[in-house]
Structure 1
Amino acid sequence: MTELLFDGTDATARHWELVSDRVMGGISNGRLKLDTIAGRAALHLTGTVSLENDGGFLQMARDLPPGTGWNGIALTVRGTGECYDIRLRTRDLSRPWQSFRTEFTATDDWQELRIAFADLTPHRTDVAFRPEALSRVGLVGVGRAFEADLALAEMRFYR
Structure 2
Amino acid sequence: MAKWDVSRFLNTVSYFGAIPVFSDIQRWLTGVSEDRSTTDGGRTLEIILVFGSMGEIGALVVQQLLKSGYRVRAAVSDLSLTPFSVPANVEYVQRSLENCDESHTERVMEGVRSMIVCPDPQSSLSAAALANLITAASTYLHTTTKLQLFDFARPDVNLQATWGAVDDVVMGGVSESAIRLGTGYAVFSGNVSIDNSGGFASVRTRNFDPSLNLSNYRGIELRVKGDGQRYKFFIRTEARWDGVGYAYSFDTNAGEWMTISIPFGDLVPIFRAKTVSDAAPIDLTQICSFQLMLSKFEYDQALNPRFSPGLFSLQIESISADGGQITPQLVIIDSISLPADLVAKLQTANLAYSIVRAENLDPQMAAMIAVKSIAQPETVGQILGH
Under a length normalisation based on structure 2, what TM-score does the superposition of the two structures give? 0.37
Aligned residues with identical type, % of pairs: 25
CA positional deviation for 1:106: 2.1
**Structure 2 equivalent of residue 25 of structure 1:** 172
Deviations 1:115-148 (A, max 9, x none): 1101111124322211112111111001252422
**Structure 2 equivalent of residue 57 of structure 1:** 200
AA matched with 1:155 = I
Kept after mapping to 1: 8 A contact 2:177/2:203: no
Q: After the TM superposition, which of the residue ranges 66-75 and 134-143 deviates more from structure 2?
A: 66-75
Cα distance in structure 1, aligned partners of 2:204 and 2:186: 11
Kept after mapping to 1: 8 A contact 2:212/2:286: yes
Cα distance in structure 2, aligned partners of 1:122 and 1:31: 25
Q: Does 1:44 align with 2:190?
A: no
Cα distance in structure 1, aligned partners of 2:320 and 2:294: 20
Runs of 4+ with deviation above 6 angstroms: none
2:224 aligned to 55, 73, 77, which one?
77
What secondary structure is seen at the aligned counterpart in 1 of 2:174?
coil
Point out the structure with the larger strand share: 1
**Structure 1 equivalent of residue 212 of structure 2:** 66
Kept after mapping to 1: 8 A contact 2:169/2:175: yes
Q: After the TM superposition, which of the residue ranges 133-142 and 11-20 deviates more from structure 2?
A: 11-20
Q: Does 1:153 align with 2:317?
A: yes
**Structure 2 equivalent of residue 116 of structure 1:** 263
Q: Which runs of 5+ in 2 are unaligned?
A: 1-144, 297-306, 325-386
**Structure 1 equivalent of residue 149 of structure 2:** 5
Cα distance in structure 2, aligned partners of 1:96 and 1:10: 32
Kept after mapping to 1: 8 A contact 2:178/2:203: no
Kept after mapping to 2: 8 A contact 1:69/1:132: no
Cα distance in structure 2, aligned partners of 1:146 and 1:90: 31
What secondary structure is seen at the aligned counterpart in 2 of 1:53?
helix
Cα distance in structure 2, aligned partners of 1:105 and 1:147: 17
Under a length normalisation based on structure 1, what TM-score does the superposition of the two structures give? 0.85
AA matched with 1:56 = G
CA positional deviation for 1:70: 2.4
What aligned pairs does 1:84-99 form with structure 2 within 5 A after superposition? 84-91=231-238, 96=242, 98-99=244-245
Kept after mapping to 1: 8 A contact 2:219/2:263: yes
Q: After the TM superposition, which of the residue ranges 75-84 and 21-30 deviates more from structure 2?
A: 21-30
CA positional deviation for 1:149: 0.8
Give the number of equivalent residue pairs: 154
Cα distance in structure 1, aligned partners of 2:197 and 2:182: 31
Cα distance in structure 2, aligned partners of 1:128 and 1:106: 27
What secondary structure is seen at the aligned counterpart in 1 of 2:181?
strand
Cα distance in structure 2, aligned partners of 1:58 and 1:112: 22
**Structure 2 equivalent of residue 133 of structure 1:** 286
Cα distance in structure 2, aligned partners of 1:155 and 1:27: 28
**Structure 2 equivalent of residue 106 of structure 1:** 252
What secondary structure is seen at the aligned counterpart in 1 of 2:185?
strand
CA positional deviation for 1:94: 5.6
Structure number, greater radius of gyration = 2
